[in-house]
Amino acid sequence: MKINKTKLRDIFDTLLKTEYKDHNDIKELNKFYIDKFNYLFNILSNKNNFIVGRRGTGKTTLLYRAYLECMLSFAKKYKSDFISTNNNLGIYIDLNKIDTLKNDNIENFERDFLLDLIKEFKEQVNIFWKPTIIKEFLTDSRNEVESIFREIENLIINGQMVDIVGNISLEKLKKDNAKLGIGVNTISTNIGLDINSQEESKNHYEIKPIELSVSIFYDKLSKIKEKAEINQIFIFLDEYSSLNEIKQIKLSKLLKKLFDSRINVYYKIGVIADNYNFGELRLDRDLHEISLDLDMIISSAGSIEKGFEHLSSFIQSLLEQRVKYFLPSNKLEDIFLDKNFSEIMLELTKASMGVSRTLGKILEKSLQKALNSNSDYINLSHIKEAIRENSKQYNEYFSGMVKKGVVANEYKELLNDIIYRAIEEQSKNKEKQSSFFTWLPSKEFYLSKLEENYLLHKIQHNHRLKEGKIDVDVYSIDYGLCLEHKLNYYSSSKEKRQDRDIVQSRFFYDSIAIKYDSFFIEEDIYKCGLCGDKVLYMKKDLTLPNGMMIKFCPVHNEQVLSIIKRKISNIQKYTEEEEKIIGLLATINEQNSLKANEIQKEVGANPYKIAWFIKKIEQEQGYLKRVTTTQPYQYYGNLEDE
């Protein structure tokens, strides 16, 4: 190739991972980040948000870009297109680091989170103090801010802030607040207790002092905001889904206490689709969704055809901007064969489906194929070969999860049933698409594990089925799997006819869903001997208005039999990223062992989490291994004795 191959590889590498070591690295984002779908405006709004999408859709990059906008807002002449005020403090926290580096005791998790929050807050204030504030304030003002930070840290370490979620004794409250100069009368007034009362019942004081702790916390933050001339604080919490469910619920309780827009502090939480639990936090009230997933992009576009056009345009803009930054003397057409350029962009769109990490992997593989063949360009055949190879890898990683027992085999059987059904439909009409199918929204969780591993993709939500007049979700079988099984893929050039095909009842795969009801639904279900497996009844279907349950089939008057349930929750032991690490390493033997940064490119987890998790599994269960004779360590999981 006539282009700088090292720089080109760097371009593709930016799509595989987001890892910024210092503020200069983060500032690079301003040079090549593309906000085609107006996410930045939404994330920097005066609301608490959660940013949701499959792994690899760009959540971390978006959080960093929003954090960068906060950094830039301290420049006196900077005018933001996304925030109306200057001096907006951004605090970025990787929850994975807290969970991994301080994983000594789950009971200390809230304390560790708060200490990390204050540490990052302190660092950010000091960064912006130097260029903008130190000249305008006396030294004792800076010392006062440092003193307030120490007071907050003492609150946390001494237990008072930890007790936002737990309990606290009245005697301890009096002692702690005496140190902070808060009088007994103030305590009595704010928490509504009679200090002189002989009865200090636990029921009286275990909740209200907690509220006082939050007010003290925010009172301290308000003083810092005032001294440092900070208008708003945006706290970006990344990798929420890397926490186990217990820690997610504990953190959500803490956040519910901390949410307070009165002093302009807003939380932005990055989560993996279908892998988060916000406990008592109310969606659309406490937290507002910003979705990066494919179905939302297509929904906002208005149709599948326009959605694919938007995605294809986004990919082209994303690559053009990176080429402009990394290879300023070149154009995108210098990399891809010109006569196939538009078709290449469409192939990349169908294969990546809004997942930038998938796009990066395909481009890296395509580049290697072009180099191996001494080609001057990446051409269409390189792209298609890379798509097949990448899809095959995803399938192998998923099989690795099943092999190691962290994902139920039923998921693999379900995927196979969907593919076999698509092949059957293809045989009926070889000219029409068979890549898309429809599914009941109430059973979407049956497919979530296949979605998060990029084997299926949700295209549309609540699409009206032509026959039967019911709302269904539209899904696509992964494009690479379609190429492998010779399934006709949806063609946007024939949009109207293709859309009519999708909503035909023959692509409504509910008969497959019914087959797996007994695995996914965690309540008793019943079947009639005459109806067979085609008709299954939930308890509500057999319950009369007076609450009495009947024990016979409404159609045949035959006795219904309860089906023994297998609860899917029994097999779920790991977080989504941990499952991906296990699945990848299940395909890797000792001779081909990988470094942590190589695993990161494949699954998206941070290197420190990868190293910590594999060590933990090696010590506890032994089916993942480390090679410690080399530096850095290498890892594998394909054991010959299995």
Residues 421 and 494 in one domain: yes
Share of the chain above pLDDT 90, in %: 47
Are 610 and 599 in contact, with CB atoms under 8 Å apart? yes
Q: Are residues 558 and 605 located together in one domain of the fold?
A: no
End residue of a domain, out of 173, 200, 228 = 228
568 vs 9, 516, 518, CA distance in Å? 41, 11, 10
pLDDT for the residue 166: 38
The token pair at 43 is 């994330």
The tens digit of pLDDT for each residue in 48-106 reads 999 999 999 999 999 999 999 998 888 877 788 888 888 899 999 988 887 766 555 66
pLDDT given at position 138: 39
Same domain, residue pair 433 and 484: yes
Integer Cα distance of 272 and 260 in angstroms: 25
308-331 average pLDDT score: 94
- Could you tell me if 267 and 48 are in contact, meaning their C-beta atoms sit under 8 angstroms apart? yes
pLDDT of 564: 53
203 falls within a domain: yes
Residues 240, 245, 251, 256, CA torsion sign: positive
> According to the model, what pLDDT value does residue 97 have?
81
pLDDT at 156 over 80: no
**Residue 620: inside a domain:** yes
Residues 528 and 614 in one domain: no
For residue 438, what are the domain limits? Answer: 409-503
What gap in Å lies between CA 239 and CA 272, rounded to an integer? 8
| Cα–Cα distance, 363 to 385 (Å, whole number) | 11
- Cα gap 349→316, rounded to integer Å: 10
* Residue 123: inside a domain: no
Looking at 503, 537, 572, which one is the last position of a domain?
A: 503
pLDDT of residue 333 exceeding 70, the answer is yes
The answer to whether residues 593 and 539 belong to one domain is no
Number of domains in the chain: 4
Q: What's the pLDDT at 228?
A: 78
Residue 457 lies in a domain: yes
- Mean pLDDT of all residues belonging to the chain: 82
* Banded pLDDT at 492 (limits 50, 70, 90): low
Range name among 206-210, 296-300, 517-521, 534-538 with the lowest pLDDT average: 206-210
Task: Tell me the residue length of the chain.
Answer: 642
504 or 428, greater pLDDT: 428
Summarize pLDDT for 215-255 with one digit per residue, the tens: 777 787 888 888 778 899 999 999 999 988 888 988 998 89
Give how far the C-alpha of residue 454 lies from the chain's centroid of Cα atoms, to the nearest Å: 14
Of residues 507 and 357, more confidently modeled: 357
Verify that 208 and 145 share a domain, yes or no: yes
Domain end among 228, 260, 275: 228
Window from 284-288, 490-494, 497-501 with minimum mean pLDDT: 497-501
Q: Are residues 553 and 611 in the same domain?
A: no
Confidence of residue 176 (pLDDT cuts 50, 70, 90): very low
Which phi and psi angles does 272 have, rounded to 5°? -90, 135
CB count in 10 Å sphere of residue 172: 14
Tell me the helices (H) and strands (E) count for the chain, helix number first. Answer: 27, 14
The answer to whether 140 and 130 have CB atoms below 8 angstroms apart is no
- Phi first, then psi, for residue 280 (nearest 5°) are -85, -5
CA dihedral in degrees (257, 258, 261, 264; nearest 10)? 170
Q: What is the pLDDT of residue 413?
A: 96
Rounded to an integer, what distance in angstroms lies between the CA atom of residue 247 and that of residue 255? 12
Instruction: Flag whether 160 is in a domain.
Output: yes
Q: Over range 125-152, report the average pLDDT.
A: 63
Burial 187-215 (b: 16+ CB within 10 A, else e): beebbebeeeeeeeeeebbeebbbebbbe
Q: Is the pLDDT at 205 greater than 70, yes or no?
A: no
Instruction: Find the angle CA(582)-CA(588)-CA(589) to the nearest 5 degrees.
Output: 125
Q: Are residues 142 and 203 in the same domain?
A: yes
User: Is the model more confident about 98 or about 42?
Assistant: 42
Tell me 388's DSSP state. Answer: H
Looking at residue 372, its pLDDT comes to: 95
pLDDT at residue 133 is higher than 90: no
Q: How far apart are CA 519 and CA 570, in angstroms?
A: 11
Counting Cβ atoms within 10 Å, is residue 505 exposed (0-12), middle (13-18) or buried (19+)? Answer: exposed
The pLDDT, as a whole number, for residue 20 is 58
SS3 at position 161: coil
If you search the block for the tokens 């294809």, which residue do you land on?
Answer: 312
Residue 438 inside a domain? The answer is yes
Do 523 and 539 form a contact (C-beta atoms < 8 A)?
A: yes
Give the relative orientation of helices 109-132 and 208-228 as an angle to the nearest 10 degrees: 20
Q: What is the model's pLDDT at position 503?
A: 59
Q: Are residues 474 and 544 in the same domain?
A: no
Amino acid found at 432: K
What's the Cα-to-Cα distance from 393 to each of 110, 133, 362, 461, 595, rounded to whole Å? 38, 53, 11, 28, 18
Same domain, yes or no: 142 and 223: yes
101 assigned to some structural domain: no
Cα 177 to Cα 170: distance, rounded to the nearest angstrom: 11
Report the pLDDT value the prediction gives residue 19, as an integer from 0 to 100.
62
Query: Where does the pLDDT of residue 625 fall: very low under 50, low under 70, confident under 90, or very high at 90 and above?
Result: very high
pLDDT 10s digits, 515-567: 898 788 766 777 777 776 667 777 777 888 777 888 788 887 777 776 655 55
Q: Which residue has the higher pLDDT, 315 or 254?
A: 315
Are 498 and 530 found together in one domain? no
Contact 234, 47 (CB under 8 A): no
pLDDT tens for 426-472 read 998 888 889 999 999 989 999 999 999 999 999 998 877 766 678 89
630 part of a folded domain: yes
